[in-house]
Structure 1
Amino acid sequence: MSGIANTIARSGGTPSEKHPKASAPALGALQGSLASIREIDPNLIDDWGPVDRLEEFTAVNAEDDDENFEVLKNSIREGGQQVPILVRRSKTAEGRYEAIYGRRRLKACRELGLKVRANVQDIDDATALLAKGLENAARRNLSFYEKARFAEAIQSAGHDGATVRKVLNLSASGHSHLSKVTQNVPSKIGDFIGAAPKSGRPKWTDLAELFRTKKLTEKVALDILAKISASLNSDERLETLIKEATKRGAKAPGGSREITPIEGVTIKAGRGTLSLSVKKSGASAEFATWLEDNLAEIIKRSHAEFTDVNSADDN
């Protein structure tokens, strides 16, 4: 066995325990045979299918990704390519191939000027997707958001929901949770945040809900993310965005709202109350004293204005 089958065996698992259930053609494509392993010029291999790792299409983790890629490249330079990639013959160009999985190994060999060891299989799109999902599941667990983006990419490539669920081993409700995130969180925001490997469904659902209810916009989110320290990792970026969006006035999923219009002044809006607090120290100290003397009159005038406006609307 090679590729994913070897990985599963080493981990002590089986495809039916923790990974998408493998069809015979998909598992066969992954295992391959010595006769199907060839050394191919990387320049004859094109990418195929939906991207299954967020790092392939986001630059937010570029520093870490570059470091990990260099480790991979050095390993291949010093010890050779140990695990073949999976390819199939191109359907449109004679003599060319399509990479089902192994993009990073392919890129490393291309940069090193080496031929890439590839398992060449004649498989259809559905089998290729299953093989891709199986290999990825054994190699590295996708984060919740990576799964969401992979599921979206599979459907964007023209495959139905049943295929998505089979490839990612999802229930209907699990697929629904992923879809809620990709349908509401702009992909540009997701790219900026990154894979967030330690953040599961709750946090991404919270962010999706902020966008769904229009309590957070892409423009505001990008403004917040642009000011976040570059030293934060993707999980910290996600958490900071949710906190900052709430602080700026976006209602959190629990229904609360907190606004800081000026330094030292906080307005909190809950489901049943609205409160105002002003610090009597620091920059807001003098304003707090003035407001204490004038707040009652300000509220009376505001209420009278509110009443006049409502009366005009009724007429």
Structure 2
Amino acid sequence: MSKKPSRSIVGSFNLLSESLRPDKEPVEPNNPSFSPAPHHTPRMPAGVVAATERSISQLREERDQLRARLSNMAPDELDPAILEPSPIPDRLPDDDQEGFNALVDSISAEGQKLPIQVRPHPSKPGRYQIVYGHRRWRAAQHLGVKVRAFVVALDDRELIITQGLENESRQDLSWIERASFARKMEDRRIDPRDIKGALSIDDAELSKMRMVTRVISRELIETIGRAPKIGRPRWLNLAKALESDPSREADVRQTLSGDKAPASSNERFSLAMATLQAEHLKSSDEIDLLTSKDVRIGTASFSGSSVTIRFSKDHAAPLREFIRSALPELADAYERQVASNRSKNG
């Protein structure tokens, strides 16, 4: 029978995130709701919760101290059938079957060395939701063996922050998986301060993650997949290409849904980028703006529903004002032309 879930690690994670808020009072470690684990694991020291402001490096250090204390606890052995994935998944579909097979072989030969972490299911008694360790859970399912797990009581907010703190130390999460997880935290109204602390990122990095996940739909990100070899710069380039003409995402999704779509998520990303570049070359038409005396004063580019005019440096200021004042007359001329064409075709 499973032991009562521990509160020590839970309280510490919650206090870590709360301590980042300058308007919060420190929480006393002897609070009645902060009970020790039933198997007499040493309680967290008061120093873990004493400070009111902590840097990201301090958060990481305290997270490691908590993990070290967990290593002295005896994990439960749970039937994989009573476990469910986290309600806030931090992984995209995994196409690395070779890596998963290696994990299965390792657990089969040497056992599960690192326990996973779960919480009691909030609405299904006797069941649990995984906080982190989904691949180890899948491997246990595949082998038909029990999975070693620490059972902790977490609410949704604590679960997300705990996942983020764990993810910060993992090398196998791709950039887009981390960005997608940051977006899910924001969707759950997690404070940006907690998001940055949990993922060990700064304002600039969070801003880039927001830009990519705002422009590229969740559906397209999931279609491409985790793309472990694709870093931030290339995802930003993809987002910028789609931002200039959002309607082009439909072309990309259609390309990736075809029978010839690559199995590798890295290759799917490359195909998505190539599709956008090909569409740009096909739909973009640039002409030189020449005077009657063949003096080049700029260029005009036509792409999809947009027109971009770039002026030569010497003509930029006067031409900008000239075109601004001429636009109403140009619109009237266009309207007259449309009316004339209708009457001719009438």
Q: Tell me if both proteins adopt one fold, taking TM over 0.5 as the criterion.
A: yes
Q: In 2, are the aligned partners of 1:30 and 1:131 still within 8 Å (CA)? A: no
Deviation at 1:269, TM superposition (A): 5.7
Deviations 1:207-230 (A, max 9, x none): 222322325433211233345954
Counterpart residue number, 2:198: 167
Counterpart residue number, 2:83: 45
Q: Give the alignment of 1:136-155 within 5 angstroms.
A: 136-155=167-186
Deviation at 1:28, TM superposition (A): 2.1
In structure 2, the CA distance between the partners of 1:270 and 1:243, relative to structure 1 (3 Å rule), is: farther
Match of 2:282 among 248, 259, 265: 259
Moved more, 68-77 or 224-233: 224-233
Q: For 1:92, what is the secondary structure of its paired residue?
A: coil
Counterpart residue number, 1:81: 112
d(CA) in 2 for partners of 1:89, 1:196: 32
Match of 1:119 among 132, 150, 158: 150
d(CA) in 2 for partners of 1:214, 1:199: 22
d(CA) in 2 for partners of 1:89, 1:30: 22
In structure 2, the CA distance between the partners of 1:43 and 1:310, relative to structure 1 (3 Å rule), is: same
Counterpart residue number, 1:102: 133
Q: Please say if 1:134 is aligned against 2:159.
A: no
Match of 1:32 among 65, 70, 73: 70
Q: Give the alignment of 1:210-249 within 5 angstroms.
A: 210-214=241-245, 216-226=247-257, 229-231=260-262, 233-249=264-280
Consecutive unaligned residues of structure 1, counting only runs of 5 or more, are 1-15, 250-257, 261-265, 276-305
Q: For 1:55, what is the secondary structure of its paired residue?
A: coil
Deviations 1:69-90 (A, max 9, x none): 2221122122211111012233
Deviations 1:2-45 (A, max 9, x none): xxxxxxxxxxxxxx999793385785267414444111112222
Name the aligned partner's letter for residue 245 of structure 2: K
d(CA) in 1 for partners of 2:65, 2:159: 10
Q: In 2, are the aligned partners of 1:165 and 1:175 still within 8 Å (CA)? A: yes
In structure 2, the CA distance between the partners of 1:223 and 1:25, relative to structure 1 (3 Å rule), is: closer
d(CA) in 1 for partners of 2:68, 2:83: 18
Percent of residue pairs bearing the same amino acid type: 29
Deviation at 1:124, TM superposition (A): 4.4
Match of 2:337 among 305, 308, 312: 312
In structure 2, the CA distance between the partners of 1:52 and 1:145, relative to structure 1 (3 Å rule), is: same
In structure 2, the CA distance between the partners of 1:267 and 1:211, relative to structure 1 (3 Å rule), is: closer
d(CA) in 1 for partners of 2:56, 2:62: 17
Moved more, 184-193 or 89-98: 89-98
Q: For 1:198, what is the secondary structure of its paired residue?
A: coil
Name the aligned partner's letter for residue 160 of structure 1: D
In structure 2, the CA distance between the partners of 1:134 and 1:247, relative to structure 1 (3 Å rule), is: same
d(CA) in 1 for partners of 2:214, 2:160: 22
Counterpart residue number, 1:54: 92
In structure 2, the CA distance between the partners of 1:30 and 1:210, relative to structure 1 (3 Å rule), is: farther
Counterpart residue number, 1:273: 299
Consecutive unaligned residues of structure 2, counting only runs of 5 or more, are 1-53, 290-297, 302-330, 341-346
d(CA) in 2 for partners of 1:270, 1:195: 42
Report the TM-score, using the length of structure 2 for normalisation: 0.61
Q: For 2:145, what is the secondary structure of its paired residue?
A: coil
Q: In 2, are the aligned partners of 1:20 and 1:133 still within 8 Å (CA)? A: no
d(CA) in 2 for partners of 1:119, 1:273: 64
Report the TM-score, using the length of structure 1 for normalisation: 0.66
Deviation at 1:144, TM superposition (A): 2.1
Moved more, 193-202 or 97-106: 193-202
In structure 2, the CA distance between the partners of 1:126 and 1:223, relative to structure 1 (3 Å rule), is: closer
